């Protein structure tokens, strides 16, 4: 009997040891899985098929970990999408943590600030030495508010204007970082300056002839009508200034129509030689008064092109007229040659020329190389602007070459 009890106890102990061993094995397997997850190996699996309460616990742990893994993967994909969006934005984007360490800086941000190296992981204050940006960063960190300011960034050739916005990233009770965005407003600034210049120039151009007309009309009313020697001269001056005013209005309407797309270019087959003849006929008297020649240079074979005849007359007329205005000796040559393998209409004068620093702006509305000389010669500063728009409307290209004191050559590349 005692032997039987001993055997039974021995069997119970063995079964208990086996059960304990299985529990420890299961616990070790669960512990191994948790350690794998903690080390970052989210693809680890649990090789345990136990039953009972421990099996249920193990399976619950696996379910929780798998769901967590799915959520982490989804969150990581969202982060990657967001990062791709930020890096691909047309505005500059930079993100820092609360200590000013740069987490992300997209290509546009680096380009705007002229930074040629990777600055992620580095201190904001060390790599971006712009005092205005530094002030915006400090204000956003101190006030916990969105700060937006206009800053200027110097470049070798010009300054660029940027709107910088610093938005704090809030945690429970502090600011955990700053998101910077940079928006380039340089073009808007320049357009605004051009608008102001345009308004000022139009006002000045209109004011001068109106004041002259008013002044001469008052003199006539005050008794000059009976002065036969001066009355005719005053009337002639009124006529000249009214024509100048009318030409200004016509030029403005033409330019406005071109910019708004109201003027349609209708191309037909034309002979550029005939167009030049028409222009020369209209300007011959003006050239003769100054003792200047008008010369046409054309290839021997008959040339044809597709263009709006009336608009081409306007283009060449403005260019030849400008050549006559700013030439004291010699003359103006117009014709057809080839540039870069393409046919090109050219107008070349032997006048005062244009210095290199002015060439980039020639063609802007009301821009004059010498405003005093232009006003004396009757220029409005709109002729080349109209030419530039008409050339563009044709789908052509305009190039200007000039040497001060020797003359200017304008090429319309077809």
pLDDT of residue 90: 72
- Are both 273 and 405 inside the same structural domain? yes
Per the model's pLDDT, the better-predicted residue between 329 and 243 turns out to be 329
- Are both 63 and 148 inside the same structural domain? no
- Are both 335 and 407 inside the same structural domain? yes
- Are both 34 and 101 inside the same structural domain? no
pLDDT tens for 34-74 read: 676 666 665 666 655 555 566 666 666 667 767 777 777 76
Ordered DSSP codes for 86-119: HHH-SSEEEEEETT-BEEEE-HHHHHHTT--S--
- Are both 257 and 268 inside the same structural domain? no
pLDDT of residue 334: 92
Grouping H, G, I as helix, E, B as strand and the rest as coil, residue 259 is helix
pLDDT of residue 309: 87
- Which region among 31-35, 136-140, 168-172, 315-319 has the lowest average model confidence (pLDDT)? 31-35
Q: How many residues are present in the chain?
A: 414
Closest to 402 measured CA to CA, from 327, 290, 341: 327
pLDDT of residue 356: 67
- Are both 67 and 50 inside the same structural domain? yes
Q: Which of 214, 234, 262 is the last residue of a domain?
A: 262
Q: Are 182 and 163 in contact (CB under 8 A)?
A: yes
Place of tokens 């990657």: 80
Average pLDDT over residues 252-263: 73
Domain with 233 in it: what CATH number?
1.10.287.130
Residue 88 pLDDT greater than 50, yes or no: yes
Domain with 133 in it: what CATH number?
3.30.450.20
This prediction's pTM:
0.52
For helices 309-325 and 272-289, the axis angle rounded to 10 degrees is: 30
Residue 297 pLDDT greater than 50, yes or no: yes
Residue 377 pLDDT greater than 50, yes or no: no
What confidence tier does 80 reach under pLDDT thresholds 50, 70, 90?
A: low
Report the share of the chain in percent with pLDDT over 90. 3
Q: Which two tokens stand for residue 307?
A: 């263009």
- Are both 284 and 396 inside the same structural domain? yes
- How many domains are there within the chain? 4
pLDDT of residue 361: 58
- Number of helical H runs and strand E runs in the chain: 12, 12
Sheet of strand 407-413: strand arrangement: 293-297, 331-339, 342-349, 407-413, 397-403
Grouping H, G, I as helix, E, B as strand and the rest as coil, residue 398 is strand
- Are both 52 and 142 inside the same structural domain? no
- Which region among 27-36, 106-115, 213-222, 327-336 has the lowest average model confidence (pLDDT)? 27-36
Average pLDDT over residues 285-313: 87
Domain with 350 in it: what CATH number?
3.30.565.10
Q: What is the DSSP letter of 226?
A: G
pLDDT of residue 195: 75
pLDDT of residue 222: 79
Q: Indicate the burial class of 12 (C-beta count within 10 angstroms; 0-12, 13-18, 19 or more).
A: exposed
Closest to 345 measured CA to CA, from 274, 268, 410: 410
pLDDT tens for 327-359 read: 888 999 999 888 777 888 899 898 887 776 666
- Are both 249 and 318 inside the same structural domain? no
d(CA 412, CA 414): 6
pLDDT of residue 376: 46
Q: Which of 262, 284, 315 is the last residue of a domain?
A: 262
Q: Are 201 and 365 in contact (CB under 8 A)?
A: yes
Per the model's pLDDT, the better-predicted residue between 369 and 16 turns out to be 16
- Are both 204 and 298 inside the same structural domain? no
- Are both 225 and 333 inside the same structural domain? no
Residue range(s) defining the domain that contains residue 99? 89-184
- Are both 40 and 80 inside the same structural domain? yes
């Amino acid at each position: 009997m005692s032997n039987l009890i001993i055997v039974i106890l021995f069997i119970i102990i063995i079964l208990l040891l086996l059960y304990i061993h299985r529990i420890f094995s299961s616990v070790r397997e669960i512990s191994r899985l948790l350690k794998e997850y903690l080390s970052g190996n989210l693809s680890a699996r649990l090789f345990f098929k136990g039953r009972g309460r421990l099996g249920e616990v193990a399976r619950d742990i696996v379910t929780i970990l798998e769901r967590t893994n799915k959520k982490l993967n989804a969150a990581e994909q969202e982060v990657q999408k967001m990062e791709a969006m930020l890096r691909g934005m047309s505005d500059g984007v930079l993100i820092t943590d609360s200590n000013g360490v740069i987490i992300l800086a997209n290509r546009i941000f680096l380009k705007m600030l002229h930074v040629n190296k990777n600055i992620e992981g580095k201190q904001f204050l060390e790599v971006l030495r712009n005092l205005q940006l530094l002030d915006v960063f400090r204000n956003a960190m101190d006030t916990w508010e969105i700060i937006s300011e206009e800053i200027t960034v110097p470049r070798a050739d010009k300054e660029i204007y940027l709107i910088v916005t610093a938005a704090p990233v809030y945690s429970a009770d502090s600011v955990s970082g700053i998101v910077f965005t940079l928006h380039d407003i340089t073009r808007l600034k320049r357009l605004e300056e051009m608008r102001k210049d345009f308004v000022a120039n139009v006002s000045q151009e209109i004011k001068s002839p109106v004041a002259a007309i008013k002044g001469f009309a008052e003199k006539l009313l005050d008794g000059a009508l009976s002065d036969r020697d001066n009355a005719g001269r005053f009337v002639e001056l009124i006529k000249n200034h009214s024509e100048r005013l009318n030409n200004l209005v016509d030029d403005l309407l033409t330019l406005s129509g071109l910019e708004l797309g109201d003027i349609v270019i209708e191309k037909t087959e034309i002979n550029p030689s005939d167009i030049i003849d028409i222009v020369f006929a209209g300007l011959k008297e003006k050239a003769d008064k100054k003792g200047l020649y008008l010369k046409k240079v054309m290839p021997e074979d008959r040339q044809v092109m597709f263009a709006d005849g009336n608009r081409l007359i306007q283009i060449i007329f403005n260019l030849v007229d400008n050549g006559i205005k700013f030439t004291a000796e010699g003359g103006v040559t117009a014709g057809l040659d080839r540039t870069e393998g393409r046919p090109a209409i050219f107008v070349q004068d032997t006048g005062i020329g244009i210095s290199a620093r002015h060439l980039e702006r020639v063609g802007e509305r009301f821009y004059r190389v010498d405003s005093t000389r232009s006003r004396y010669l009757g220029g409005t500063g709109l002729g080349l602007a109209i030419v530039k728009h008409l050339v563009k409307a044709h789908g052509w290209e305009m190039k200007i070459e000039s040497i001060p004191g020797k003359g200017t050559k304008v090429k319309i590349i077809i």
